[in-house]
Amino acid sequence: LAEFFRRTYGPTGVFNAKPFEGSQSWAGARPEFRAIAYDSSGIAAHMGMLRRFIKIDGADLLVAELGLYGIRRDLEGLGLSSSFRVVLPVLQELGVPFGFGTVRPALHKHVARLGRGGLLAVKSGIRVRSTLRIALLDKPPTRIDDALVVVLPVGRPISDWPAGAMIDRNGAEL
């Protein structure tokens, strides 16, 4: 898996592949569950999940954070919506009201297509605070991103997602 992530994230910048040096197969928090797709060429796609409580403007909300998403370069364009559909039954089993994740604003067009089909909602204008994976004495312990928030309704309708301008992950990004 570490090699898969280095090859998947490396083309987006050396810094993005760095957390997967050696045999580490996560960048921040360890996933509770992994969905891994294989084909005759090896690992085709991966998505990690972690149940956690996030705070939205100070109110706690149980979610399954979705992250560590990757698809092999020769399969790009074929997998994100299928990946969400595959993990939905697992999220239902976990008993969470929502799946939650973040993506870079540069991926807005890519994930917005999924929102048009009603599978998920993409929200902008929300800041997301995460604990840094490695504590450094000369840096703050948290980072705040202006990322796009992806919400997958699981046990409750999207209309139940709380409004708010700040999400605190209460830990490291998955």
Q: What is the pLDDT of residues 4-30, one digit of tens each?
A: 888 887 766 666 667 777 776 676 678
Find out whether 20 and 6 touch, Cβ atoms under 8 Å: yes
State residue 17's pLDDT score. 67
Single pTM value for the model: 0.82
Q: How sure is the predictor about 54, in pLDDT bands with cuts at 50, 70 and 90?
A: very high
Query: Residue 77: how many CB atoms within 10 A of its CB?
Result: 7
Greater model confidence, 64 or 11: 64
Greater model confidence, 49 or 8: 49
Say how far apart CA 33 and CA 90 lie, in whole Å: 9
State residue 100's pLDDT score. 92
Q: How sure is the predictor about 42, in pLDDT bands with cuts at 50, 70 and 90?
A: very high
The first and second tokens of residue 70, run together, are 């990757």
Q: Taking residues 91-103, what's their average pLDDT? A: 92
State residue 13's pLDDT score. 61
Alpha helices by DSSP H, the chain: 2-9, 14-17, 80-94, 108-116
User: Does residue 77 surpass a pLDDT of 80?
Assistant: no
Q: How sure is the predictor about 117, in pLDDT bands with cuts at 50, 70 and 90?
A: low
- Residue-range domains of the chain with CATH: 1-168 (3.40.630.30)
Residues whose CB is less than 8 angstroms from the CB of residue 128 and which lie 6 or more positions away in sequence, other chains included? 102, 144, 145, 146, 147, 149, 166, 167, 168, 169
DSSP conformational letter for 109: H
Look-up: residue for tokens 């991926």? Answer: 107
